Amino acid sequence: MTALLELDGIGISFGGLRAVDDLSFTVNQGQIVGLIGPNGAGKTTVFNMITGVYKPASGTIRWQGNDITGAKPARIATLGLRRTFQTIRLFADMSVFENVRAGCHLAARQHWWQGLLALPAQRREEAELAARTHDILRRLDLEGVADTPATSLPYGVQRRVELARTLAGQPRLIILDEPAAGLNDAESAALNDTIFMIRDTGVTILLVEHDMNVVMQVSDHIVVINFGRKIAEGNATAIRTNPAVIEAYLGRDDDEATAA
């Protein structure tokens, strides 16, 4: 197993509050890793540091052994690291097709002047990327809504569109920020299948999730944080019985503990 993404002692503060402190964990190639923790534990902040939205105040983030700490989001994307957002961020005025096509941005080799002159090579590439987009739409069962304005769709479908958009970038690792939030039971179950399907195409997955059923069922490895610090790490069985985890959840939030 080779390490794809390594977090080594990263930390960040907001206005004196230590949101994440000395956090280390590793995501190996081909794994599905779950990051869990009670509300406000700092999970999304960790994602924002990995994807370059925030710059960690301390520690290093490595991608295949190379230091990428503090790199800008656009540079992170070039590594093949893509994410979804907890609050879905689709392009509102665009169709589902256009949104997923946006994920192909880095695959486009055309220069701006080729585009403005509509040269043959550029037209060819457009056709190729449109085909790739349609292929992904088919795989995620979105062909039927390709021309529909993305934000007019039900929440669950929008989540799938955002997922399709990350896949269009042919990522090595995708980071899913609460992919099951707002989904009904059937959609949530389908999500599990989708996550396995993505992993089977060779994509590594790191996810934050409140829905314990999803996390426990899909994750190979789980990292638990509370108040910005790691409190446990291991497979689903080990986490379920870990006293520190049980205390963190029972002590703070009963709903989540029963869900677990």
Partner 1 sequence: MRGFKLDGLKLGALLWAAGLALPFALDSSWVSIAAFFAIYAITALSEDVILGRAGMFDMGHAVYFGIGAYVTAILNTTLNVPILLTLPLAMLLAAAAGALLSAPLIRLRGDYLLVATIGFNAIFVLAMQNNPGGITGGSDGITGIGVPSLFGLQLESQSAMFWLDWVLLGLVLLVMRNLDACEFGRALRYLKQDELAASTLGVDARKVKTLAFALGAALAGLAGTLFAVQLSTVSPSSFVFTESVTLFAIVIVGGQGSIPGVLLGTALMFVVPQIFRGLAEYRYFVFGIAMIAVMVLRPQGLLPRRRSAA
Partner 2 sequence: MGTFIQQIVNGLTVGGIYALIALGYTMVYGVMRLINFAHGDLCILGAFVGLTMLTGSAGGGHPGAALLLLAFVVSIIAIAVAGVVLERIAYRPLRKADRLAAVVSALGASLMIENGIMLVWGPQVHVFPSNLLPATTWHVAGATISFIQVMIILASLVLMAALYLFVNHTRFGTAIRAAAIDQDAARLMGINVNRVITSVFIIGPGLGAIGGLFIGIYYREAYFTMGWTYGLYAFIAAILGGIGNIPGAMLGGVLLGLFNAFAAGYVSSSWQDAITFGLLIVILLVRPTGLLGERVAEKV
Residue 115 binds which of partner 1, partner 2, none (CB < 5-8 A, kind-dependent): partner 1
Q: Is 200 in the site for partner 1 (CB under 8 A)?
A: no
- Tally of CA atoms within 13 A in the half-sphere of 210 that contains its CB: 16
Dihedral angle, C-alpha 236, 239, 245, 246, nearest 10 °: 80
- Phi/psi at 45 (nearest 5 deg)? -60, -40
Binding residues among 49-88 for partner 1 as defined by CB under 8 A: 51, 53, 72-74, 76-78, 82-83, 85
The CA distance from 217 to 232, in Å, is: 18
The item of partner 1, partner 2, none sharing an interface with residue 197, based on CB under 5 to 8 Å by kind, is none
Which residue in 160, 165, 221, 230 binds partner 1 (CB under 8 A)? 165
Whichever of 53 and 94 has its CB closer to partner 2, that residue is 53
What token pair was written down for 81?
């690291």
Structure tokens at 143: 């062909």
Q: Are strands 3-14 and 221-226 parallel, antiparallel or unpaired?
A: unpaired
- Give contact residues for partner 2 (rule: CB under 8 A): 44, 48, 53, 85
State phi, psi for 52 to the nearest 5 degrees. Answer: 85, 5
- The answer to whether 176 and 207 are in contact (CB under 8 A) is yes
* Per-residue mark of binding to partner 1, 5-44 (x: CB under 8 A): ----------------------------------------
Positions that interact with partner 1 (CB under 8 A): 51, 53, 72-74, 76-78, 82-83, 85, 89-95, 97-98, 101-103, 105-106, 108, 110, 112, 114-118, 122, 126, 130, 146-147, 149, 165, 169
